[in-house]
Amino acid sequence: MPETDLYPPVKGFLEAQGYSVKAEVKDCDVVAIRGDEPPVIVELKSQFSLKLLLQGIDRQAISDTVYLAFQPPKRAQLSDTLKLCKRLGLGVLLVHGQIVEAMADPVPYTPRPAKKRITLLLKEFQHRVGDPNQGGSTRRPRMTAYRQDALRCVALIGTDGPSSIALMRSKAGVARAAGIVQNDVYGWFQREQRGIYGLSPKGSAALETYADVITTLKA
């Protein structure tokens, strides 16, 4: 759908709400006026893009009521697109053929602190040993405090052979050893007998893959 095809449904949508609507006024794609209210500005693009976003931000110097109108993006992208526009105080109009759906109004964004996420962030920071990750690297999976605890168990078994959960707790210092070996998120452990766990082939490979991390944890 070319941008010109977005104009008629957007114009009709605004006129149905009592606005007088005109296209291409100065640099604005759409301008709508209703009585003595500040102007409503709408920027049109067939798809959401950085260019459209920058146009919307520029128009905020003229009016506090700025909308971006575009065709619906893929469902996986819609949530992030709306979140970004809301943070910037931009409204969003989705154009489905001749139907216009208002997804967000241009109001100042005041985020509420995500206390649970803050707590989890600080907890992960405090429990992670050292700084084992390289920012931006995808060479191997991200090293978390949980993975470090799993590697402590791997290292113990690698040295002492199949071990009990109690030994992992006391000697390796992993309080959550039971959950780690029983859930076996990484596929590193295998049950030898009741309460005793050894290493799977993946666990044996982890001894080499994460040798540097294990050395740091032992230190």
Identity of residue 118: I
- What pLDDT band is residue 137 in, cutting at 50, 70 and 90? low
Sequence-distant (6+) residues with CB within 8 A of 203 are: 154, 157, 186, 187, 188, 189, 190
Give the CATH fold of the 140-218 domain.
Arc Repressor Mutant, subunit A (1.10.10)
**pLDDT at site 131:** 75
Q: What percent of the chain has pLDDT over 90?
A: 71
Q: Are 167 and 152 in contact (CB under 8 A)?
A: no
Burial class (CB in 10 A: 0-12, 13-18, 19+), 117: exposed
Structure tokens at 172: 């390796």
Q: Are 132 and 147 in contact (CB under 8 A)?
A: no
For 40-79, the pLDDT digits (tens) are 999 999 999 999 999 999 999 999 999 999 999 888 899 9
For 168-205, the pLDDT digits (tens) are 999 999 999 999 999 999 999 999 999 899 999 999 99
Residue 160: pLDDT over 70? yes
User: What pTM was estimated for this model as a whole?
Assistant: 0.60
Structure tokens at 135: 């920012």
**pLDDT at site 111:** 64
Structure tokens at 49: 């893009």
Give the CATH fold of the 3-104 domain.
Trna Endonuclease; Chain: A, domain 1 (3.40.1350)
Q: Are 12 and 39 in contact (CB under 8 A)?
A: no
**DSSP for residue 113:** P
**pLDDT at site 12:** 95
Q: Are 186 and 147 in contact (CB under 8 A)?
A: yes
**pLDDT at site 142:** 85
**pLDDT at site 124:** 81
Domain ranges in the chain are 3-104, 140-218
**pLDDT at site 121:** 83
Higher pLDDT among residues 209 and 134, named by residue: 209
- What pLDDT band is residue 110 in, cutting at 50, 70 and 90? low
